[in-house]
Amino acid sequence: MIREFKQGVFFTAATLVVFGGAYHAVFWAIGRVAFPAQAEGSLIRRADGTLVGSRLIAQKFTRPEYFQPRPSAVEYNAAATGGSNYGPSNPNQLEAVRERLDALTKQEGVTAEQIPSEMLTTSGGGLDPHIPPNAADLQAPRVAAARSVPVGRVLELVRQHIEPPTFGFFGRPRVNVLELNLALDDSLGAPKHPAAVAADGR
């Protein structure tokens, strides 16, 4: 029995070193050399080096000059993520959808049928960085009006940012909201009064 216990202890220790330690060290080294950007979290920095966010993580956009991501059950908190976990029949869920629907129809000046359901529902992690292309098209007139540019220029940018499904059939076509908004600022200039955000409400 003593021998049995000894084997259990040493097996635990040996496998802990190999699979808890060495395995990760190898990945760490490969990440540093071969995929440094991905290993750090696909972070996006401005020219002056300040960190804007990650291309994989949604962030909150409220200003009319920007495209907005999907709603988030955790208010885009990337340090404590999660979904709503509302069941399909939950009255709270249906009320939340109804509220977002009312707000969006007013904000974009469209009818309910024109709003993709992705923009009315929260994602699993609350950090979905993408919206479907039709959700970007929907917002383009508002963005163009707020920036006083022809809607065609904004739609052109949207078109350039559509990522197709992998192999043509796996996954869905989508637009990365943060990358699209940064491209907007790049080609059309950043909006003038970033500090006035809070006063603007939604």
Partner 1 sequence: MTTECIAVAVAILFTIGTSIPLGHYMARVFTGERTWLEPVLGPVERLILRLTGVAPNLQQDWKQYSVSLVVSNVFMWLATWTIVTLQQYLPLNPDHIANMEPTLAFNSVSSFTTNTNLQHYSGETGLSYLSQIGFATFLQFVTAATGIAACVAVIRGIGGNRLQHVGNFYVDTTRAAVRVLLPLAFVVGLILLWQGSPMTFEPAAKATTVEGAEQTIARGVVAPMVAIKQLGTNGGGYFGPNSTHPYENPTPLSDFVEQWSILIIPMAMIWTLGHMLRRRRFAAVVFATMLALYVPMVTFGVAMDVRGNPAIAAMGVDQSTGSMEGKEVRFGSGLSALWSVSTTVTSNGSVNAMHDSLMPLGGLMPLMGMWLNNIFGGVGVGFINMLIFIIVAVFIAGMMIGRTPEFLGKKVEAKEMKLASLALLWHPLSILIGTAIACYVWSITADPNAALAWLKNPGPHGFSEMLYEWSSATANNGSGFEGLGDNTPFWNIGTGVAMLLGRYIPIIAPLALAGILGAKPTAPETAGSLRADSGTFGFTLWAVIVILGLLMFMPVAVLGPIAEHLALR
Helix (H, G, I), strand (E, B) or coil at 18: helix
For residue 189, state whether it binds partner 1 (rule: CB under 8 A): no
Contacting range for partner 1; rule: CB under 8 A; set: 59-67, 137-145, 146-154: 59-67
Task: Write each residue from 79 to 108 as x if it is in contact with partner 1 (CB under 8 A), else as -, in one continuous string.
Answer: xxxxxxxxxxxxx-xx--xx--x-------
Is the CB of residue 180 less than 8 Å from the CB of residue 157? yes
Cα–Cα distance for residue pair 163/13, rounded to 1 Å: 46
The tokens of 69 are what? 């991501």
Does residue 49 interact with partner 1 by CB under 8 A?
no
Q: Which of residues 5-24 bind partner 1 (CB under 8 A)?
A: 5-16, 18-21, 23-24
Site for partner 1 in 156-185 (CB under 8 A): 165-166, 169-172, 174, 178, 181-182, 185
Tokens in use for 164?
A: 């197709």
Which pair of structure tokens corresponds to residue 163?
């990522």
- Residues facing 162 on adjacent strands: 175
Distance in Å, CB of 22 to partner 1, minimum? 9
Q: Does residue 195 bind partner 1 (CB under 8 A)?
A: yes
Which residues make Cβ contacts (< 8 Å) with residue 164, sequence separation at least 6? Answer: 173
Strands (E), the chain: 43-45, 51-54, 130-131, 162-163, 174-176
**Vertex 73 angle, CA 193 and 68, to 5°:** 35
Binding mask 29-48 for partner 1 (x = CB under 8 A): -xx--xx--xxxxxx-----
Q: Check binding of 130 to partner 1 (CB under 8 A).
A: yes
- Piece of 62-70, 141-149, 153-161 that binds partner 1 (CB under 8 A): 62-70
Q: How many helices (H) and strands (E) would you count in the chain?
A: 7, 5
**In whole angstroms, how close is the CB of 153 to partner 1 at the nearest point?**
19
CB of 69 to partner 1, least distance (A): 10
| Both tokens assigned to 202 | 């939604």
* 187 lies in the binding site for partner 1 (CB under 8 A): no
Residue among 8 and 152 whose Cβ is closer to partner 1: 8
**147 lies in the binding site for partner 1 (CB under 8 A):** no
